[in-house]
Amino acid sequence: MSLSEKIKQLRSEFLNELTLASTSKDLENLKVKFLGKKGPIPALMIELKNCSADDRPLLGKQINDLKEELISHCNLTESRLKDAEMLARFSSEAIDPTLPGRRQYLGRSHPLMQMMDRAIDILAGMGFSVRLGPEVDTDYYNFEGLNFAPDHPSRDMQDTFYLNTEWLLRTHTSNVQVRVMEEFAPPIRIIAPGRTFRNENISARSHVFFHQIEGLYIDRNVSFADLFATMDEFWSKLLGEKVQTRFRPSYFPFVEPGLEVDVRCTACRGKGCRLCKHSGWLEVCGAGMVHPNVLKKGNIDPEQYSGYAWGMGIERLTILQYDIPDIRMFTQNDIRFLSQFP
């Protein structure tokens, strides 16, 4: 076969194989095979040296033209294949912008913590600072230091979770009172938010585990009027409008006199409704003037100092504010319930 024929044959062989290249990988192999250093074109060049000097320029040009042609075919095909492959990849990876998005739920604080934070903010603004006490405490701080007689019914096993004869789960945040008095000299102006525990049957209205905020103010000449003013101010700020407060005598061993504080029902404004059990009033906290015996336990002279204290249940407040039917909803972790508190 003459060189000229070989050139023609190589060309048609190449064009033939080119039609079979369907991926850029195929094309790569084709390039190596036809245009590589050990491929047919350098071989033709070697053969050219054996041709007559007359034929050589023309044949040489034919070989070079062929080489150019193969290169340009390869380049064209390569860009066509790459474009097609890119399009295929894009359509396989495509996103559908019409699909509904996945909602991201943001965490938020628990309704009880929201209520607690609001109360703390208001009281901090009134000059009270936060002190925390232990949830596991001794009989002394929970009862004895607070003037509970040894046979007081609250110490009964029915109400208190005793861990042993000395240690218990605090039944109220009042356990912070004597601790703070031992630690600081008056004036004392603190609030103590926290968890409290009582050994009661769990029902829609009571739970073994709940939250309180305690308030304590001790200074010279602190009087009943100070307690009233603080209650008025605090409850009005917390409930969002000027609310009327009412004080009823009550008994707690650590205050004398002791009071129960009521506010005008926020739902019916005193007309009487289901929430206030038709009384027009909501009971919101226990309060009173700190008992002289308690001041003495805290090394404070009751002749020189006086004070008031109050304690409120956060679950109860939250239930009243939102008319929640069952206290157990707070601990069931149901997102449908919790997400209703923005």
Least distance in Å: CB of 287 to ligand PHE?
5
Least distance in Å: CB of 298 to ligand PHE?
14
Q: What letter would DSSP give residue 7?
A: H
Length of the chain: 342
Interaction of residue 145 with ligand PHE, rule CB under 6 A: no
Least distance in Å: CB of 286 to ligand PHE?
3
Q: Which of 81, 181, 218, 255 binds ligand PHE (CB under 6 A)?
A: 255
HSE-up of residue 280 (Cα within 13 Å, Cβ side) = 6
Site string for ligand PHE, 121-140 (x = CB under 6 A): --------------------
Binding to ligand PHE, residues 296-315 (CB under 6 A): 309-311
Q: Which is nearer to ligand PHE, 116 or 309 (CB)?
A: 309
CA distance 194 to 200: 18
CA distance 296 to 55: 127
Q: Which is nearer to ligand PHE, 193 or 311 (CB)?
A: 311
Strands 306-313 and 209-219: antiparallel
Q: Which is nearer to ligand PHE, 139 or 214 (CB)?
A: 214
Least distance in Å: CB of 222 to ligand PHE?
14
Interaction of residue 287 with ligand PHE, rule CB under 6 A: yes
What is the secondary structure of 269-304 as a DSSP string?
A: TTS--TTTTTSSEEEEEEEEEEPHHHHHHTT--TTT
CA distance 146 to 39: 103
Least distance in Å: CB of 255 to ligand PHE?
5
Nearest to 120 by CA among 215, 188, 196: 215
Number of residues that bind ligand PHE (CB under 6 A): 11
Nearest to 251 by CA among 120, 152, 113, 332: 152
Binding to ligand PHE, residues 172-211 (CB under 6 A): 172, 174
Site for ligand PHE, rule CB under 6 A: 172, 174, 214, 252, 255, 286-288, 309-311
